[in-house]
A = this chain, B = another copy of it.
Amino acid sequence: MSQTFSRIDQLAQFVGQTVTVRGWVSHLRSSGKVAFIVMRDGSATPLQCVLVKKQMPEEDWARFAALTLESSLAVTGEVRADDRAPGGYELGASALAIIGASPLDYPIQPKEHGIDFLLDNRHLWLRSPRQVAIARVRHEVEQAIHDFFYERGFLHVDTPILTASQGERSGLFSTEYFDEGMAYLAQTGQLYGEAAAAAFGRIYTFGPTFRAEKSKTRRHLTEFWMIEPEMAWYDQAMNQDLQEEFVCYLVERCLTRRAAELKELERDISKLETVKAPFPRIPYTEAVEILQKKGSNITWGDDLGAEDEALLVADYDRPVFVCNYPKEAKAFYMKENPDDPRTVLCADLLAHEGYGEMIGGSQREDDHDKLVARIQHEGLPMEAYGWYLDLRKYGTFVHSGFGLGLERTVAWICGVQHIRECIAFPRMMHRVRP
């Protein structure tokens, strides 16, 4: 069965030969004696099939009239190179078979639809060229992430989704766990990643994380994917060097291998071509001064809001690190900054063009007693952190890590405003179907 069928992305090797392609109707037009079927099969840019009445059996030609949007079909014909064709090739059809007809009420028509309607029909919306392009960029980013770490000797570790409570955190989804009480869906794999770094040296996690927060911004999902590398013997400077190298690698990979998709998305790639190391590194305290001069009401100690972030990156053509935030604004596990103990050794990486925070990272507190004091100060339950404290008790080690939000990164590379389009089936406050 397979031998006689070809995918659109393989047609380059069949120029001048007759092949059969299967897929779905994206677009139809006809001028009486010549008809055109634009056909998609998910592998590449849709293919234009050209039907000439007098060059086909009468019954095959007659089938064209019955075709509807999203009908599945098989078209046999000669592969022709044609620079005017979207993918560089077209098919001169000699036979047409309808496999599965599609009624005329196919929900997604070539017109404007509301976002709720599109999300209700996400299983069909995924077939649209823009959604296919985003999905293909997402996959490229994912494979690039795995390749980047594999090439550098990092071990991939899958940290648990179901976890016993690690304190009074808010925004947790919970479920009954047999006779063990409640379990919670992980908001991060980091603490487990630190244990793994002590075992395997350099590791990264790649998994879904959850936030049961009632936020409805274009940068939030309740279920999203995070990549969290953790490195033994890396201080915060090395951590930021790695992040720079990592982000440049992902961008370069998409520019090289997903140019067609970025074009489909009308992405201004000149904004990506400038993404080169080194990225500016602005200490938080300096960032506050810059923002105040630019008119922001921020005062020292506040976290940066989305508007502050946009204001700060406006002058740059690449992502920007904001370093060493106030201790009180950040998580308990970040290492105190020896040069200014009001602050911690951390950095957020803000995408330029106003896409906001893409990475948060820090050096971890490796002093057992200082970490105990931080846990007490924050009012967290010490007993939940026994195993985490063990990492400082038995052979403590300098280590650092970061978390990259996958959908935010894909949104930025694609130039998409809302991250809900950057995952196949987005989960938001009012959205758990389909």
A interface residues, Cβ below 8 angstroms from B? 1-2, 5, 7, 9, 22-25, 41-43, 70-72, 99-103, 106, 121, 123-124, 126-127, 131-132, 135-136, 138-139, 142-143, 146, 150, 153, 155-164, 173-180, 183, 185, 192, 195-202, 207-208, 210, 212, 214, 222-223, 225, 232-235, 237-238, 366, 387-388, 390-398, 423-425, 427, 429-430, 432-434
Contact = CB atoms under 8 A, between A and B. Distances in A.
Given A42-B232, A160-B427, 7 more contacts: A23-B201, A41-B201, A99-B398, A100-B394, A123-B387, A158-B423, A180-B430
A237 B136 CA distance: 28
Contact of A162 (B24, B173, B235, B393): B173
16 contacts: A1-B235, A7-B153, A22-B232, A23-B201, A42-B199, A42-B200, A42-B232, A100-B392, A123-B192, A123-B388, A124-B390, A132-B199, A139-B155, A158-B208, A164-B434, A178-B430
Which of A70, A127, A201 lies at the interface centre, i.e. has the most chain B CB atoms within 10 A of its CB?
A201
Contact of A175 (B131, B160, B185, B391): B185
A161 B223 CA distance: 8
Contacts of A72: 395-397
Contacts of A393: 102-103
Contact of A132 (B200, B396, B429): B200
A208 B177 CA distance: 17
Given A72-B395, A143-B156, A196 B126 contact: yes
A397 B22 CA distance: 9
Given A127-B199, A430-B178, A237 B390 contact: no
A133 B185 CA distance: 28
Contacts of A138: 156
Contacts of A161: 161, 185, 208, 210, 223
Contacts of A159: 424-425
